[in-house]
Chain A
Amino acid sequence: MFENVEQYGLDLHCTMILEEYRESVPVFEKIKEIALNAINRAISENGIYITALESRIKAEQSLVGKLELKGVKYMSLSDITDILGMRVITFYTDEVDKIAAMADRLFDIDWANSVDKRKMHELNSFGYNSLHYICRIPKSMYFDPQMPQINEFRFELQMRTALQHVWANIHHDTGYKSGVEIPYDYLRNLSRLAGMLELADEQFSQIRTGINDYRRQVQQLVSSSKFEEVPLDGDTFGSYLKIKPFDKLNRRIAAINQAEVHHASCVHYISVLKALGFKTLGDVEKLIHDYSDDAYKLATYELGNTDIDIISETVAIQDLLIVYILENGGGEHGLIYMFNTLNGPSDYNTIRARRLVDTASQLPFMNR
């Protein structure tokens, strides 16, 4: 499986390091397994979303190349800190810091050899942005007296955002370190792109922070019942539904036949509400307040002569909107539009709209 160590033509010192590497691969495999498990568990427990968690053990050929270039620098294998490399790629810049804090709690960090490349740029330079920690598995996490090297060998943990990762890969692909001189213009463009991606990363974080702030404000307004101040959109309607605004009417309707209420999401009704011109949650509250009695009458008329003892949680908002459309002159076309929006176009929608117009004509609210 392995090449003969001597055939690489390394000096004796480097050959000994290479032999040590071959003997230690199972140790690095074990370190990788322990570290991956620990990181995965911590990410899950802390609710952090990442795009990828990568790991690799340096290939023998790659180590040979490293030893050829700077083998003299290393006394033994344990001086090489990237035999095992791991990388966490996040969506947002602030999550890189969260991962770093998590790594600090999990592993023993060799601070002297760890580096924050994000802070190494001059004011007017842009380029590789990544946080590199050199780590060890602490004995408190794992200890095997048969394999003490598990707590001795170090490994490198890189943490960066997805955009930083893209830039680093493209930069690597140029062969910048290969010794082939890259023309100034290409390097300058890469540097400009690094600056642009840094700005984009910052913007993504700010947008997310802004959205989270907005959601918190909406939740506060909803919980304090200041509905008229809350614009109607997918987010706000979702928060509003959590306080179960249609429950009271659903329970009234269910009582007609002592029916059970089957849980179902009403969130798709946002498109109908928006199309009907509802602008705030206050408008939806007004719909409930002004039309619940008529919606109940419609439900009584439809369900009262049946023995149906199960309804969906969507019945209340469905019947509220049906009576709202009919009482405001939307007629058959308004109802067809609503059903098409909710269920997709179908001939049934026309049949159903006609039936409802006929039904409603016999109810008091259409004859006021």
Chain B
Amino acid sequence: MNVTIANEGGKVISAVTGRVDTTNAADFQEQMKPLMSLQNPDIEMDCSGLEYTSSQGLRIFLMLQKAVSANGGKLVLLNMQPQVKEVFDITGFSNIISIL
């Protein structure tokens, strides 16, 4: 699992690749922390390289969504692979997190 974060023209452009599962969920959460503390962030996270997310990964995406909303910002997950999107769909999280 790998995470990148960059600032581009007022937006925060992030990308996550690989698998998020129980073995690396804590690491994923740690890498999301800088995004959770931003004020009014406009975050686009490219998920085209995300191959799998476990329940732990879902929880971290939820935490990120909550923190971003609480800080007056916006989070959009982009280019999700179908098998990952399906996890968000069948759990109802597609209704909570913006996925384009």
Contacts and interface: CB of A to CB of B under 8 A. Distances in A.
Contacts of B96: 262, 264, 312, 314
B99 A311 contact: no
Interface string A299-319: 100110011111111110010
Nearest to A303: B90
B6 interface: no
A310 B91 contact: yes
Nearest to A264: B96
Given A264-B95, A302-B90, A351 B55 contact: no
A309 B98 CA distance: 21
B92 A313 contact: yes
Contacts of B95: 264, 268, 312, 314, 318, 342-343
A259 B93 CA distance: 14
Given A264-B96, A346-B100, A312 B82 contact: no
B58 A351 contact: no
A310 B89 contact: no
Category for how many chain A residues contact B = 20 to 34
A318 B58 contact: no
A315 B54 contact: no
B99 A310 contact: no
A311 B91 contact: yes
B59 interface: yes
Contacts, number: 62
Interface residues of B, number: 21
Contacts of B58: 308, 310
Nearest to A269: B95
A355 interface: yes
Main secondary structure of the interface of B (DSSP, over half): helix
Contacts of B94: 343
B83 to A, nearest CB: 10
A352 interface: yes
A299 B87 CA distance: 12
A352 B92 contact: no
Interface string B65-100: 000000000000000101001110111111110111
Nearest to A262: B62
B48 to A, nearest CB: 13
A259 B54 CA distance: 13
Interface string A308-333: 11111111001000000000000000
Q: Specify which of B87, B89, B95, B99 lies most central, judged by the most chain A CB atoms within 10 Å of its CB.
A: B95
Contacts of A310: 55, 58-59, 91
Interface in A278-313: 299, 302-303, 306-313
B89 A352 contact: yes
A314 B98 CA distance: 15
Interface in A319-362: 342-344, 346, 348, 351-352, 355
17 contacts: A262-B62, A264-B95, A307-B54, A308-B55, A308-B87, A308-B90, A308-B91, A310-B91, A311-B92, A315-B91, A315-B92, A318-B95, A346-B100, A348-B85, A351-B85, A352-B86, A355-B82
Interface of B: 54-55, 58-59, 62, 80, 82, 85-87, 89-96, 98-100
